[in-house]
Structures are given as structure tokens and as C-alpha cells.
Amino acid sequence: MSSKYILSLDQGTTSSRAIIFDENGKIRSSAQAEYAQIYPQEGWVEHDPIEIYSSIAAVASEAVARLNISRGDISAIGITNQRETTIVWDKKTGAPVYNAIVWQCRRTAEMCDKLKADGHADMIYKKTGLPIDAYFSASKIKWILDNVDGARKRAEKGELLFGTVDTYLMWRLSSGKIFATDYTNASRTQLFNIHTLSWDDELLSLFDVPRKMLPEVKPSSGIFGYTDEREFGASVPIAGVAGDQQAALFGQRCFTSGCAKNTFGTGCFLLMHTGDEAVESKHGLITTLAAMTDNTPQYALEGSVFVGGAIVQWLRDEMQLIRTAAESEKCAMNVSDTLGMYIVPAFVGLGAPYWNQYARGLVTGITRGAGKDHFVRACLESIAYQVNDVLCAMEKDFGISEKKLAVDGGASANNFLMQFTADITGRSVVRPMTLESTALGAAYLAGLSVGVYDPDALKNPQSGDTVFTPNMDKSARNKLLDGWQKAVGKTIYKD
């Protein structure tokens, strides 16, 4: 074949996608499939691991068929995945012992509260860069071992394996020959020391997780192993793996210290590369590992906004104020402001930099003249305000940042939101031609390791970017930000 293809498998929270990139990083084919969200009780979120794998297998087949190539024409596979989501399965049969516990699930919140009360927060943060929270994998593993009949004894005997979604997919695609993860995914388990780059005995003991359950940890770019011909239809190297947000950082070519990106998805995930420095945050951010092409540690600061594009879904599905997500842009541009209205979308508490699980949503400043368009505009503005909160925290922690912000994700297609983000942050917002930065990052990582992509070429600026330049007066921006902070202050409370 004259062309070299990279298959990127993007396993997300609500859907699985397969995108085939060529040697120029252009999308040649894609397929997507949604799968079931399982809510056993309030605050619990699960997925069926078998359905996750089936959906990935299906979209991979569809993407290959659409391009009219064979699986043997694929030079390498890159995998990117929803992070923290926890799967435990039988080492011999591959059968999950329980559904995947999703990163959103709050069932272990009380367990985490007890760990905080017992004084473990500082030790855990210093080793992992993470606050104690049900968000991460460690407490989820412990819950499965403690609540599934016989699971703990089987795990101690070496009969069960744990993995984040990337590990489970590689294990299935290779028929059990690959049992590995990469540094970015390992760094989200709360069991991995991001300074020594190793599973940590003290953390394993604290969460009561047997070491023999854990996968080998490797750099994000490199040959993890090969797919099994009986399972995948060809022997293809799996050559790049990264958690979705670190993959997006890499896909945006944020390789140097101070470079930042924000993914406008269901939530917002803002990462700033900090080079070889693991910056300890004093402003509610996470210190995490960035994608690495070798064993040299690279770090990032991360802030997670729980409700980003989800507020547009809420406007459409629950409030029924708009029929499509795209309609929100038109509504917002029908009015010049919100008439002083602020909406704080703390539907499930507030993420970075506040980390308040007791906060709840708030609408403030409503006047008689406020209408639907003002309400929709306030919802979109709330996304930008939250992004600015995280950016400000990053600047305080790290001291420097580039005066531009790379963006991707579905909501980044909204021109009003991008311009308001530029205005309220005082930064140029740069939207690439290809919004699939997450899948592209996984493709870059895989392609680098098999020679499809040139590392020097990836350092060059991308063409076709759309740039939104801030044009709001500083005094107007400060007035809006002051109103936002007052609104957030009214939102935060504890029962």
C-alpha cells in the first residue's frame, strides 16, 4: 500500500469511535456507536465491559470497511479511553466479575471521606498528585473486591486482573497476551507514584489491592504488543496508548511547558503541560502525568469542570428550550448580554478549583425582562467562566502560561462560546481544523513508534486553525467576573 494508516480507537464515556488517519494526519474513515449507561441507584454509574469491547470491535470493522482496506493495511493501532473507569475480570476466561464502575460513579464517596478523616490526604497527594475522591480507580477496585462474592480471595490468589479501559481492550484484542497500561492511565488510579513511576506499596496496602492484579506500565508511545489474528483478523501492533485528556493534549501538539488545551465535552478538561516539573497545586488542581514517548517523566496540571457541554444537553432535553445543541449559539447571539443573570451549573457539585461535592446549581440575577435567549446565553457563558477559573488557578500554581488556549471537543464548534471564552480569559482561543484531538493524539503516539509520523514535523504549527481574539474591554471583563464569583459564592454550601 502506498498509504500508511493508523487506526485510532477512542473509547469514551457514552460512545466508542474508530477513526482511521493517513500519514498526513488526515481523517480517512470513521465510525461511532453509543452504548448503554447503567444507573443501578442514585449516584452509581456502570458500563457493561462486554458491550464496551463489542462496540469497539464493531466500529473498528465499520471504519476499515468504509475505507475499503484490509486490517493488514493498518500500520498500527492507537488507543485512547475514558480514564479512571474500573474493570476487574477473570484471568483465564476474561469474564468481568462485575460491571465497569465509571469515573462518574460516587458510590465510594463515604469511603473517601473516611480516608480524609483518617489523615491520608497529604500522603496520597504527594505520591499521586490526586485529591482523595471517588473519581479515581483505587476506591472502586476496593469496592469490587469487598462487595463481589469471593472476589477478594480470588484476587489474592492471582485469579483476577484489574485494568482501566485501555488495559481491558488490549487484553481482549490480544487474546490475553497483553496485560499493560501506559503512564497516563496508571497515574489516574491513585495507586501509582508519579515521581518513582511505579505502583506504590503504601497505597496498595491502604486500599487493600493485591499487586498481582495490576498491569505492567509503559510509555504512551511504543509497541505494547500485537492483536491476535483470531480476535482482530490480523496481527497489528498496538503502538500508542493514552488517557483521553492526555491524548488530546498530545493531539493539540502541546509538548512544551506552559502550553494548554481545553476539551469542551460533556465536562471541560483543561490541561497545561509543565515539562519535567511535577507542580504541586495549592489551588485545587490535579498533578498528573502527560503522554510520554520514553521513560522520562512529563507532567501536566489538570482542572476538571464537571458540567460543560452537558448544560447544553440539559437545555435541550430537560428544559426543552432548544431543539438542537447548535441552536444555542443562535439564541445567545440574539441578545447582547444576560441582563445580569448568572447560572452556576453545579448539578453534581463543583470540580476544580473548588472541589465542593455539596454545591448545587443556582440561577441568580433574574429580572422581569429576562427571556429564553438570555437564559441560554447565561448557560453558555457559565462554561467559559468555569474554564477561566481553572486557567487562573493554573497561572497561580505555575506562574506562566502562553496567552493562547487550544480547544477541541463538540462544544468548541459553538462560535459564540469560543469568542466569549477568548473575551473572558483574555487569551486567544485556537480551534484546529480537526476537532478530533483525542483520537489524533492516540494516532500520533502510535504512528511515532512505527515511523509513520516524524517527531520533528509534529512540532510545526498546524494549518487551518480558527483563532478567536479577545476584544472585550478589561473593565467590562472584570465586572462580569466579579458577578460570577459572587454567584459561585452563593452556590457553595454544606448540609
Supply φ then ψ for residue 56, to 5 degrees: -65, -45
Compute how many other C-beta atoms are within 10 angstroms of the C-beta atom of residue 443. 34
User: What 3-state DSSP class applies to 144?
Assistant: helix
CA–centroid distance for 180 within its chain: 19
Q: How far apart are the first and last CA of the chain?
A: 64
Strands 466-468 and 27-34: unpaired
DSSP 306: S
Q: Which of 78, 474, 103, 432 is nearest to 269 (CA)?
A: 103
DSSP assignment string, 28-96: EEEEEEE---B-SSTT--EE-HHHHHHHHHHHHHHHHHHHT--GGGEEEEEEEE-SS-BEEEETTT--B
- pTM, full prediction: 0.88
Q: Supply 465's cell numbers.
A: 486553525
The CB density around residue 198, as the number of other CB atoms within 10 Å, is 11
Instruction: Retrieve residue 266's grid coordinates.
Output: 460533556
User: How far is it between the farthest Cα atoms of the chain?
Assistant: 67
**Residue 417 and residue 411 in contact, taking contact as beta carbons nearer than 8 Å:** yes
Q: Is 41 exposed, middle or buried (0-12, 13-18, 19+ CB in 10 A)?
A: exposed
Nearest partner of 266 among 455, 16, 48, 14, judged by Cα: 14
What amino acid is encoded at 359 in this protein?
A
Rounded CA separation 193/186 (Å): 9
User: Helices marked H in 105-209 — which ranges?
Assistant: 109-117, 121-128, 137-147, 151-156, 165-173, 183-186, 201-207
Residue with cell 467559559: 384
List the one residue out of 25, 66, 13, 3 whose CA is nearest residue 439: 25
CA nearest to 79, candidates 151, 11, 157: 11
Distance between CA atoms of 328 and 325, rounded to whole angstroms?
Answer: 6
C-alpha cell at 253: 501538539
From first to last of the 495 residues of the chain, give the pLDDT tens digit: 456 999 999 998 888 999 999 998 899 999 999 898 889 998 888 999 999 999 999 999 999 999 999 888 999 999 999 999 999 999 999 999 999 999 888 899 889 999 999 999 999 999 999 989 888 999 999 999 999 999 999 999 999 999 999 999 999 999 999 999 999 999 999 999 999 999 999 999 999 999 999 999 999 999 999 999 998 889 999 999 999 999 999 999 988 888 889 999 888 999 999 999 899 888 889 999 999 888 899 999 999 888 888 899 889 988 999 898 899 999 999 999 999 999 999 887 888 888 787 788 899 999 999 999 999 999 999 999 999 999 999 988 887 666 889 998 888 999 999 999 999 999 999 998 887 889 999 999 999 999 999 888 888 767 778 999 999 999 999 999 999 999 999 987 654
**Do 444 and 9 contact (CB within 8 A), yes or no?**
no
Number of other CB atoms surrounding residue 224 within 10 Å: 29
The DSSP symbol for 460 reads: S
25 CB contacts (<8 Å, ≥6 apart)? 434, 440, 443, 444, 453
Q: What are phi and psi of 331, to 5 degrees?
A: -60, -45
Peptide bond before residue 131 is cis, with ω within 30 degrees of 0: no
